[in-house]
């Protein structure tokens, strides 16, 4: 082995010193570079996983909010349809009530007009009777020149009116 050391010019003291130096450099790199880098990478990995978890949670909440929004929209539409239906029913009831009131008023007006027509007709008939009676009276007076007693005159008037009615 000694020949080998001499052939390659290897000094075992120097080799041990280099191993000690390498160990020191390796230890220093481990404590001052590798360990902080590993901690930094671990912290970053933790932040990333928290970010992904938070993003998943936010996405879930967003989906829930979207579902709730859709449910509220459906509920609002149902409520609006219910209000529209109720309004239509109410308006139909009011319309029917107004129609009934109008029909009642029309019936009253028709009845009032019939009464008025009947009373005017009765008044006209009475007026015509009176005028007819007077005309008959004048005609009878002219024909009989002497006149007739009131009872006979009344009888003649009634007979003439009865004939005219026929």
pLDDT band at 14 (very low <50, low <70, confident <90, very high): confident
Least trusted range by pLDDT, from 86-90, 140-144, 158-162: 140-144
Q: How far apart are CA 112 and CA 130, in angstroms?
A: 26
* pLDDT for the residue numbered 126: 85
Q: What is the pLDDT of residues 99-124, one digit of tens each?
A: 999 999 999 999 999 999 999 988 98
In this predicted structure, the answer to whether residue 166 has a pLDDT above a threshold of 70 is no
Helices (H), 30-145: 35-144
* pLDDT for the residue numbered 162: 80
Q: Which whole number is the average pLDDT over 5-10?
A: 76
Q: What is the pLDDT of residues 42-93, one digit of tens each?
A: 999 999 999 999 999 999 999 999 999 999 999 999 999 999 999 999 999 9
Q: How far apart are CA 113 and CA 109, in angstroms?
A: 6
Average pLDDT of the chain, as a whole number: 88
pLDDT band at 12 (very low <50, low <70, confident <90, very high): confident
pTM: 0.41
* pLDDT for the residue numbered 159: 80
Q: How far apart are CA 63 and CA 86, in angstroms?
A: 34
Q: How far apart are CA 23 and CA 76, in angstroms?
A: 75
∠ at Cα 51 (50, 54), nearest 5°? 85
């Amino acid at each position: 082995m000694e020949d080998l050391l001499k052939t390659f010019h290897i000094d075992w003291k120097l080799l041990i010193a280099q191993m000690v130096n390498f160990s020191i450099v390796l230890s220093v790199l481990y404590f001052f570079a590798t360990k902080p880098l590993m901690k930094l990478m671990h912290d970053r990995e933790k932040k990333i996983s928290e970010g992904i978890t938070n993003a998943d949670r936010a996405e879930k909440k967003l989906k829930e909010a979207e579902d709730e929004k859709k449910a509220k929209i459906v509920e609002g539409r149902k409520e609006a349809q219910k209000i529209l239906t109720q309004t239509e029913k109410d308006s139909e009831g009011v319309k029917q009530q107004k129609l009934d009131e109008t029909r009642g008023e029309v019936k009253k007006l028709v009845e009032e007009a019939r009464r008025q027509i009947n009373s005017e007709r009765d008044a006209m008939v009475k007026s015509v009777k009176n005028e007819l009676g007077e005309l008959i009276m004048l005609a009878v007076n002219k024909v009989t020149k002497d006149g007739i007693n009131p009872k006979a005159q009344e009888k003649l008037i009634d007979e003439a009116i009865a004939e005219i009615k026929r």
